[in-house]
Amino acid sequence: MHSLMTISQTSPAGLCKLTNCNSIEKAIDANTPTLGQLAKYVGDEKPLAFIEMNIALLAVFCNLSNSIKPEQAKMTAELILSEYPNLTIADVNYVFKKAKMGQYGDLYHRLDGQMILKWLGEYFEDRCNVYAERSIKEAQSYSFRSNDTPERINKLVKSIMKK
């Protein structure tokens, strides 16, 4: 896991390069702090700058003619931090990577806060579904197999207790 102390000392540009995930599962497994944790540890300035940096890098990458203005990027970052404090650094980087790859559709030379918030909403829903699937699989791994009858379980427990 990336320690919160190490993350807090990393520049916003460095945070944008911190992870290179290619799936929701890898973003989850990257174990980076959430935006909320980072804000609590170092204040809102660093996570806001990190989000704004991702927005600016996306606009440059896409060479947009109607690029998002700095004031819009700031307001969008503030909304992201307040509405999605449970997203991690890896999650945010992955969403912006997907946007660069066109996985949220064509930008048509336009980028605005509503589009970005929509992407994050879609991603957050998908992320919750992945967590739910993981939880179900984990619960199923603890359930008894069909051939585990009470008699067989008692025998197993007795053999273990004899050791």
The answer to whether residues 80 and 113 touch, using CB atoms and an 8 Å cutoff, is no
Q: How much is the pLDDT for 157?
A: 72
- In this predicted model, what pLDDT tens digit does every residue of 123-137 receive, in sequence order? 999 999 998 998 888
Q: How much is the pLDDT for 150?
A: 72
- In this predicted model, what pLDDT tens digit does every residue of 87-97 receive, in sequence order? 999 999 999 99
Reported residue count of the chain is 163
Q: Rounded distance, CA 24 to CA 8, Å?
A: 23
Q: How much is the pLDDT for 67?
A: 80
Identify the CA nearest to 92 among candidates 27, 9, 146: 27
Identify the CA nearest to 40 among candidates 11, 67, 14, 8: 8
Amino acid at 121: G
The stretches in the chain having pLDDT less than 50 are: 1
Q: Rounded distance, CA 30 to CA 16, Å?
A: 14
Spacing of C-alpha 136 from chain mean position? 20
The answer to whether residues 16 and 93 touch, using CB atoms and an 8 Å cutoff, is yes
Identify the CA nearest to 81 among candidates 47, 45, 123: 47
